[in-house]
Chain A
Amino acid sequence: MLAPMADVALDAPTATRDAPPRADFEIVPLKGLPIVGAVLVALVVAIAANRLWALEFFHVAAGGLWTSFDLFLGFVLGPILGRLAIPARVELTTRLMPKLLLIMPTLVTCTLASGWQLGRLLGTIDSGYANHGWIVASYVVVGVMAVIALAVLEPANVAVLFELKKPRPNPQVIQTLMKRFIYTAGITGAMQVTTLVIMTKVATG
């Protein structure tokens, strides 16, 4: 998750030297919280109602967006960022990463919670289901992504934003933290492609 910022680290030592004065930014965009709250309430309603369409909507829409975000940010926007001027990278980072702090956990929660409920409704998470091996494989894939995202990337994401908010950000700190994105981008990408394979297999029986 959030792999794209990896390239910001490459020239980080020069980032503050070359960067123009930055506009202040919110680490967590407070305006987005009501939207997140509304989405999560809708998710709980969908689960409580246990309706196929609502659960399918949340699982497919949120899951598709989660995978798309990860692949787009990691393999499209990331390399583009790496070729931008340092001030542009910092500017984009301070505008994009706070939004991702709200978007990604919301998408992941919606995907997993609705997916579990959908599996209960359809019987696809039962151990007797024909494609049970594929389902267990999806647990492993999600588990790997969850450990990387929660224990490695999310803390780095927040710490980078705190560093960039300082009057004089320390480029070494940013570079150190951004290495985490570089090291994990390939794993996350592989897991997301595997997710696509597994989910299309399960959907088609």
Chain B
Amino acid sequence: MSERALPPVTELGVVSMALIVAGGISIASQLPENVPLTLPILFLVASSLIMLANLIALARTPGFDWDAFFDVAKWALVGYAVIAGILEFVFVHDGVRGGILVVLTLSLVVYAVHVPLLIGFTVARYQ
């Protein structure tokens, strides 16, 4: 097994996903009243920054198997984009609009990008 020094991509991914989920729960638990968006936005920004940190850390890792990463991540991205698209459809269909829709949409984007990143990383690190 490769014991190269790798950044803590999975651990950061868990934190990032937890923040996205927390933001979603924060919004969902207060519907249909006026939903304060401060907390969900903070969670979304923190989650996005962690995802960015993950990408930067991976990009700076010498010898990482990017071919294997993209081979896996691109198909995972297709799959999770479909799932995120269905969830987005539900929100729009239900009349979610404005700031709530923006936060939920961006949260779905982070979800649909970060999960394939984690799958691609986990496969590629052992190639």
How many residues of chain A have a CB within 8 Å of chain B?
39
Asked if A127 is at the interface of the complex by the 8 Å CB criterion, the answer is yes
A-B contact count (CB 8 A): 100
Asked if A47 is at the interface of the complex by the 8 Å CB criterion, the answer is yes
Q: Which residue of B lies closest to A180 (CB)?
A: B10
Min distance, Cβ A123 to any Cβ of chain B, angstroms: 9
**Residue among B31, B72, B87, B114 making CB contact with A158, cutoff 8 Å:** B72
Asked if A199 is at the interface of the complex by the 8 Å CB criterion, the answer is no
Q: Which residue of A lies closest to B116 (CB)?
A: A155
Q: Scoring B residues 77 to 90 as 1 if CB is less than 8 Å from chain A, else 0, what string do you get?
A: 00100110011011
Asked if B106 is at the interface of the complex by the 8 Å CB criterion, the answer is no
Q: Scoring B residues 4 to 29 as 1 if CB is less than 8 Å from chain A, else 0, what string do you get?
A: 00000010011011100110110011
Q: Scoring A residues 136 to 163 as 1 if CB is less than 8 Å from chain B, else 0, what string do you get?
A: 1001100100110011101110110011
Asked if A173 is at the interface of the complex by the 8 Å CB criterion, the answer is yes
Min distance, Cβ A38 to any Cβ of chain B, angstroms: 13
* Bound complex: CA A136 to CA B123 (Å): 35
* Bound complex: CA A173 to CA B122 (Å): 11
**Beta-carbon contact of A126 and B31 below 8 Å:** yes
**Main SS at interface, chain A:** helix
Q: Which residue of B lies closest to A132 (CB)?
A: B29
Asked if B60 is at the interface of the complex by the 8 Å CB criterion, the answer is no
Q: Which residue of B lies closest to A28 (CB)?
A: B75
Min distance, Cβ B43 to any Cβ of chain A, angstroms: 12
Asked if A54 is at the interface of the complex by the 8 Å CB criterion, the answer is no
**Residue among A44, A116, A150, A170 making CB contact with B126, cutoff 8 Å:** A170
Known A48-B93, A105-B83, A162-B123; contact A127-B30, beta-carbon cutoff 8 A? yes
Residues of B within 8 A of A132 (CB): 29
**Beta-carbon contact of B126 and A163 below 8 Å:** yes
**Residue among B1, B24, B89, B121 making CB contact with A173, cutoff 8 Å:** B1
Min distance, Cβ B24 to any Cβ of chain A, angstroms: 7
**Beta-carbon contact of B31 and A172 below 8 Å:** no
**Residue among B1, B10, B86, B123 making CB contact with A113, cutoff 8 Å:** B86
Known A105-B83, A126-B31, A176-B1; contact A158-B123, beta-carbon cutoff 8 A? yes
> Which B positions have Cβ atoms within 8 angstroms of A?
1, 10, 13-14, 16-18, 21-22, 24-25, 28-33, 72, 75-76, 79, 82-83, 86-87, 89-90, 93-94, 111, 114-115, 118-119, 121-123, 126-127
> Which A positions have Cβ atoms within 8 angstroms of B?
28, 40, 43-44, 47-48, 105, 109, 112-113, 116-117, 120, 125-127, 132, 135-136, 139-140, 143, 146-147, 150-152, 154-156, 158-159, 162-163, 170, 172-173, 176-177
